[in-house]
Amino acid sequence: MKRWTTAMLAFVGLMAIWEWLVRAGVWSPVLVPSPVDVGKYLVASIQDKTLIEACYVTLKRLMLGYAVGLGFGLPLGLLTARFKFFKDTLGLLALGFQTLPSVCWAPLALLWFGQTETAMFFIVIMGSIWSITLAADAGVRNVPPIYSRAAQTMGSRGLHTWFKVILPASLPFIVSGMKQGWAFAWRSLMAAEIYITILTGFGLGHLLHYGRELHAMDTVIGIMIVIVIIGLLTDKILFSPFERFLHRRWGTGK
Amino acid sequence: MTLSDELRNEPPEKLLVECVSKTFQARSGTLLALENISLNVREGEFVCLVGPSGCGKSTLLNIIAGLDSPDTGRVLADGEPVTGPGRERMVMFQESSLFPWLDVFDNVMFGLKLNPRLSREGRRKVALFFLKLVGLEKFIHANIHELSGGMKQRVALARALAPNPRVLLMDEPFGALDAMTREQLYGDIQEIWAKRRKTIMFVTHNVREAVCLGDRVMLFSPHPGRIQEQFEIKLPRPRDINSVELAKYSTEITRTLKRHLIPEFSEVSE
């Protein structure tokens, strides 16, 4: 609790300095709005529901795209880990696509799917799937062979070994891969929303884009703060419990 | 069948290894790991395989376990050829093979859950029984990384005993432990062996350890792996590793081991 309070005080102090810099005229309010202005924008946009809706639209795209990316990425990773042929083909492809910045999929998605939700999903999936595949592959490869040998002597075979030994043994890798996949999905969705204007829903990226178009710096910075907060929250809510469990069981971390 | 065969009253053969050879493809060429190994282990017998590192004793143990297959020859367990790993021959490995994603209790439960004949309650009881047997009833819900090396190997022993195997194959299980812990475990394993009457095959490079535990000690020499000699250890149990009689045996065996070892050293099989 004490740590929390001191951290809070530090942030409040930072905002006070920011406010002072704007008021004193060191920073032009045209380029840097004061925290009070940003706060006003956020309150107003929550009241007229634009921010809430944008968050909803963005998170829905992210969740669905990520779920699909996870659903395909994980089995693909197991496939590349198990079969040499898939390692040499799909594995190489995954490695290549993972290095491709996911916004590079945007032109293709636009041409294939037009200005639709599908184009958005496509970009999110392409952003997340490869790092999950690679992590699952690395996870399985790093499982000490002694685990499956020990399991075999106890009568475990085939799928049982895969689900009860190899998958849980590679969990630390898989979870960090899932986290990375999430980060990539989040980045690619923001890029896609800024880049592609679609009429079926305004996401946070669109708000950011229009903030720029209208030169509304309070919007731009307000939305950026919201994006940061969402990133932090997903990390704390989605992945932290997982990681804490892994640290406790494996005895890693502090 | 001769008259002497008829009159013999020995326990039945539990394990029979017949002319087993195994080669490995190494970078430098083909390595003959085991050459023409034949041995038998009687029901309830405690047999130790002793030899220097890399003499193929672990390979032999893996073949008996069914985790590896021999190039030539075969292994019979109760007269049946071994074709793969199975619950009736449990292995306790040299490094900790416990599953870090499960706690102590669930590690012991792993093999039990694969036994369809037991009820859920039965499995729990069996797991608790063996955890008590190795003296870890207070740690059933501990995580593996929280245990000391000796405790880990106790869990591994409980896990290997729980599915009630007829044969226990132990691959240098105490190699990584400190001397104090090891001595304690020698006592424990002798006690458990006396209580549960398992057939045990124990691999080690420590001659004293082998003499302390085994009814019979088989001497392995490397390049290629061969059984050079066998020693019956006729000492009363439970044995103390620090006793003088035990030291006499181990001195003799060590001397023999060295005699076999030194001329073999220069010889490299291609």
CATH of the domain at B37: 3.40.50.300
Residue B232 β-bridge partners: B216
Distance from CA of A150 to the nearest CA of B (A): 7
| Residue to test with chain B: of A152, A154, A171, A244, most B Cβ within 10 A | A154
The pLDDT confidence band at residue A253, using thresholds 50, 70 and 90, is low
B179 found inside a domain: no
B152 found inside a domain: no
What is the pLDDT at residue B270? 35
Instruction: Tell me phi and psi for residue A113, to 5 degrees.
Output: -110, -5
What does the pLDDT look like over B113-164, one tens digit per residue? 988 888 999 999 999 999 988 888 899 999 999 998 888 988 999 999 898 8
The reply to whether residue B114 touches residue A146, judged by beta carbons under 8 angstroms, is no
- Report the percentage of chain A scoring pLDDT > 90: 46
What is the pLDDT at residue B179? 84
Q: Does B202 touch chain A (CB under 8 A)?
A: no
What is the pLDDT at residue B256? 85
The pLDDT of A93-105, averaged and rounded, is 89
Which 244-263 residues of chain B touch chain A by CB within 8 A? none
**Where do the structural domains in chain A lie, given as residue ranges?**
32-250
B139 found inside a domain: no
Architecture of domain A32-250: Orthogonal Bundle (1.10)
The reply to whether residue A147 touches residue B99, judged by beta carbons under 8 angstroms, is yes
- B84 pLDDT higher than 60: yes
Range of the domain at B66: 24-88+199-270
- Interface A-B, measured as beta-carbon pairs within 8 A, has a size of 68
What does the pLDDT look like over B168-199, one tens digit per residue? 999 988 888 888 888 888 888 898 888 888 89
Count of the separate structural domains present in chain B? 1
The pLDDT confidence band at residue B201, using thresholds 50, 70 and 90, is very high
B160 found inside a domain: no
B31 found inside a domain: yes
Helix axes A217-234, A35-47, angle to 10 degrees: 70
What is the pLDDT at residue B109? 93
Give the number of other CB atoms < 10 A from CB of residue A31.
9
The reply to whether residue A149 touches residue B67, judged by beta carbons under 8 angstroms, is yes
B42 found inside a domain: yes
What does the pLDDT look like over A8-46, one tens digit per residue? 999 999 999 999 998 888 888 888 888 888 999 999 999
**Higher per-residue confidence, A159 vs B31:** A159
The pLDDT of B41-47, averaged and rounded, is 90
What does the pLDDT look like over B55-77, one tens digit per residue? 788 889 999 999 989 999 889 88
B171 found inside a domain: no
The reply to whether residue B85 touches residue A168, judged by beta carbons under 8 angstroms, is no
CB of B59 closer than 8 Å to CB of B100: no
- Report the percentage of chain B scoring pLDDT > 90: 24
B35 found inside a domain: yes
Give the number of other CB atoms < 10 A from CB of residue B194.
12
Distance from CA of A148 to the nearest CA of B (A): 9
The reply to whether residue B97 touches residue A150, judged by beta carbons under 8 angstroms, is yes
| For A246, nearest residue in chain B (alpha carbons) | B101
Contact residues, chain A, for B144 at CB < 8 Å? 249, 251
| Residue to test with chain A: of B59, B99, B102, B107, most A Cβ within 10 A | B99
**Higher per-residue confidence, B4 vs B108:** B108
What is the pLDDT at residue B269? 42
Range scoring the smallest mean pLDDT among A202-206, B11-15, B142-146, B259-263: B259-263
Average pLDDT of chain B to the nearest whole number? 85
What is the pLDDT at residue A196? 81
**Higher per-residue confidence, A140 vs B197:** A140
DSSP notation for B133-190: HTT-GGGTT-BGGGS-HHHHHHHHHHHHHTT--SEEEEESTTTTS-HHHHHHHHHHHH
The reply to whether residue A251 touches residue B146, judged by beta carbons under 8 angstroms, is yes
What is the pLDDT at residue A95? 92
Pairwise CA distance, residues A208 & A193, whole Å: 9
